[in-house]
């Protein structure tokens, strides 16, 4: 069975008949119809945001009387991720094909020999499938269970970012596993033998002075109630390792100011002292808030954001990776009995119908909420002497779970209304400019990168507006 995330083939060719024949060959071999583009610019724009989900690119050499495929090939090869590129040849001169191969194309396919295409693509699919499994195993060693496409991207980002000294900002809803990703970044880094120190910002940031004393320590007699001998702070504790600032979006503007120099230079003064100290730390932070919007509206300092977010990892909510729900639920059912009853021999299975209901539930609290629901299902099943967790047991547990307004049918909270308004505004501007992201971003007063991120968040496809 073909991996569902490894079947997208992109065709960039100005010949509709050629595209039709390629589509027939691929669908007959079990692939989904390819994403086809008559315009090379539109095909390239699609690949800028979908290259990682693309199994292969079929790119024509000639567009009209010009070998524009060679220029497009160079653009594709400059992307952060380069999928295999097969050049489509209709008896072009051998020199053109040779040039394409030298510039990074994997192979070429004669348009009168398309029957060989599925066999070529299968070799790419098998290779990528093996890579995917290795990435999922990589995440599992850090306690992150998944088999979904969105989390594969997270794994790739961790592997790229962890060995560096760049600051990383992890963005995701409550319960998506931000702290697990932070630990993975630490454990996969060169600092893995050093300390990993977590700062829970909401619990230490009641005032700028208190935050500074907890982060940087205090000099003797710094203020009333301070330790007479002075104290060290979280920055000292993390020396040689990683400092994880959890829920960084909860900082006030005043508190944000105190972090500017320490984050950038790793230099600071203890509260009540003018003596500067320096530590060797890497800073990772996390937030469940739309911090990019906070920057745009003035709620978060842009200069601090840029210091904290040299790399950004976005964690998808559970509702966007529903294929992981049965895997996670089964794992919790196997491991939680040891926590609940201190008995590793207790085993409960989920009925198939129960797993189906779990996949339909909205999970506003994400993985953490799923874990709590499974825990309560286990307790109820044990009380009722049930052999398995049935839909009836699940419904009884879920009946006491808070439901979001979007699920219960109400008009929505202020946050829901604001999200809907933002989505509609983005769609309105994309409609106005026919999907031109540069012009749309300019009118919305956001960066082009931020607009791409918002489109992914709200599931808006700019490509649809270009064809109107």
Q: What is the mean pLDDT of residues 132-148?
A: 90
> Residue 179's closest CA among 294, 339, 288?
288
Together in a domain, 298 and 201: yes
Query: Exposed/middle/buried for 387, CB within 10 Å: 0-12, 13-18, 19+?
Result: exposed
The residue among 71, 103, 128 that closes a domain is: 128
pLDDT for 2 beyond 50: no
Do 383 and 305 share a structural domain? Answer: no
The alpha carbon of 123 is separated from its chain's Cα centroid by a whole number of angstroms, namely 27
Residue 89: what pLDDT? Answer: 81
Residue 181 forms part of a structural domain:
yes
Asked if residue 408 is part of any domain, the answer here is no
Between the alpha carbon of residue 144 and those of residues 135, 136, 163, 377, the distances in Å are 11, 8, 19, 22
- pTM for this predicted structure: 0.67
Q: Domain of 328: which CATH number?
A: 1.10.8.60
> Mean pLDDT over all residues of the chain?
86
The band of 3, judged by pLDDT with boundaries at 50, 70 and 90, is very low
User: Is there a single domain that holds both residue 452 and residue 374?
Assistant: no
Residues 82 and 168 in one domain: no
* Domain match, 158 and 282 both: yes
pLDDT of residue 441: 83
What pLDDT does 413 receive?
46
Domain shared by 243 and 146, yes or no: yes
Are residues 299 and 241 part of one domain? yes
Quote the domain boundaries for residue 55. Answer: 8-128
The pLDDT-based confidence of 408 (bands split at 50, 70, 90) is: very low
Bridge partners (DSSP) of residue 63 are 66
Q: Are 157 and 225 within one domain? A: yes
Question: Which 3 state secondary structure label does DSSP give 304?
Answer: helix
Exposed/middle/buried for residue 31 (C-beta within 10 Å: 0-12, 13-18, 19+) = buried
State what percent of residues in the chain have pLDDT above 70: 91
- Which pLDDT does position 1 carry in this prediction? 37
pLDDT digits (tens, 9 = 90+) for 231-253: 899 999 999 999 999 999 999 88
Task: Report d(CA 156, CA 395) in Å as an integer.
Answer: 37
| Same domain? 250 vs 374 | no
The string of pLDDT tens digits covering residues 344-383 is 777 889 999 999 999 999 998 999 999 999 999 999 999 9
Is 188 domain-assigned? yes
Say if residue 172 is in the same domain as residue 241: yes
User: Does residue 410 belong to any structural domain of this protein?
Assistant: no
What pLDDT is attached to residue 421?
A: 73
Region 65-91: mean pLDDT is 87
Q: What is the CATH number of the domain that holds 28?
A: 3.40.50.2300
> CA 272, CA 261: separation in Å to the nearest integer?
17
Residues 33 and 124 in one domain: yes
pLDDT grade for 9, boundaries at 50, 70 and 90 = very high
What pLDDT was estimated at residue 410?
40
Which of 261, 283, 314 represents a domain boundary (last residue)?
314
- Is 2 within a domain? no
Beta carbons of 34 and 23 less than 8 angstroms apart: yes
Report the number of distinct structural domains present in the chain: 4
Judge whether 145 lies within some domain.
yes
Q: Is 300 found in the same domain as 169?
A: yes
Q: Which of 128, 152, 183 is the last residue of a domain?
A: 128
What confidence tier does 403 reach under pLDDT thresholds 50, 70, 90?
low
Residue-level pLDDT at 171: 94
pLDDT at 222: 65
């Amino acid at each position: 069975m073909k991996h569902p995330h490894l079947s997208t083939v992109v065709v960039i060719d100005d010949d509709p008949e050629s595209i039709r024949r390629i589509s027939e060959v691929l669908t007959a071999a079990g692939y989904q119809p390819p994403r086809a583009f008559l315009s090379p610019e539109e095909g390239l724009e699609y690949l800028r945001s979908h290259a990682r989900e693309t199994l292969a690119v079929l790119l024509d050499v000639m567009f009209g009387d010009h070998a524009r495929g060679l220029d497009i090939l160079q653009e594709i090869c400059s992307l952060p991720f380069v999928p295999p590129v097969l050049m489509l040849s209709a008896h072009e001169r051998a020199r053109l094909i040779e040039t394409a191969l030298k510039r990074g194309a994997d192979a070429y396919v004669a348009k009168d020999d398309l029957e060989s295409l599925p066999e070529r693509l299968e070799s790419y699919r098998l290779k990528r499938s093996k890579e995917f499994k290795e990435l999922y195993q990589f995440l599992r060693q850090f306690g992150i269970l998944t088999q979904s496409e969105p989390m594969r991207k997270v794994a790739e980002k961790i592997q790229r970012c962890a060995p560096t000294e760049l600051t990383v900002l992890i963005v995701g809803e409550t319960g998506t596993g931000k702290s697990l990703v932070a630990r993975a970044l630490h454990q996969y880094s060169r600092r893995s033998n050093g300390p990993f120190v977590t700062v829970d910002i909401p619990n230490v940031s009641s005032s700028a002075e208190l935050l500074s004393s907890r982060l940087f320590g205090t000099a003797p007699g710094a203020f009333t109630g301070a330790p007479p001998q002075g104290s060290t702070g979280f920055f000292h504790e993390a020396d040689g390792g990683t400092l994880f600032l959890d829920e960084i979006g909860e900082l006030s503007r005043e508190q944000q100011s105190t972090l500017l120099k320490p984050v950038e230079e790793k230099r600071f003064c203890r509260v009540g002292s003018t003596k500067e100290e320096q530590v060797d730390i890497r800073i990772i932070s996390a937030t469940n808030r739309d911090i990019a919007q906070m920057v745009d509206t003035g709620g978060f300092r842009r200069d601090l954001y840029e210091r904290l977010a040299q790399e950004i990892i976005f964690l998808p909510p559970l509702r966007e990776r529903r294929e992981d729900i049965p895997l996670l639920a089964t794992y919790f059912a196997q491991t939680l009995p040891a926590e609940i009853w201190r008995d590793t021999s207790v085993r409960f299975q989920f009925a198939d119908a129960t797993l189906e209901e779990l996949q339909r539930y909205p999970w506003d609290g994400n993985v953490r909420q799923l874990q709590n629901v499974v825990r309560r299902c286990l307790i109820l099943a044990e009380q009722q002497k049930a052999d398995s967790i049935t839909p009836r047991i699940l419904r009884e547990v879920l009946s006491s779970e808070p439901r979001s307004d979007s699920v219960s049918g109400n008009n929505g909270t202020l946050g829901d209304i604001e999200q809907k308004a933002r989505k509609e505004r983005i769609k309105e501007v994309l409609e106005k400019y026919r999907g031109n992201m540069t012009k749309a971003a300019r009118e919305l007063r956001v960066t082009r990168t931020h607009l791409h991120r918002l489109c992914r968040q709200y599931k808006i496809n700019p490509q649809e507006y270009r064809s109107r």
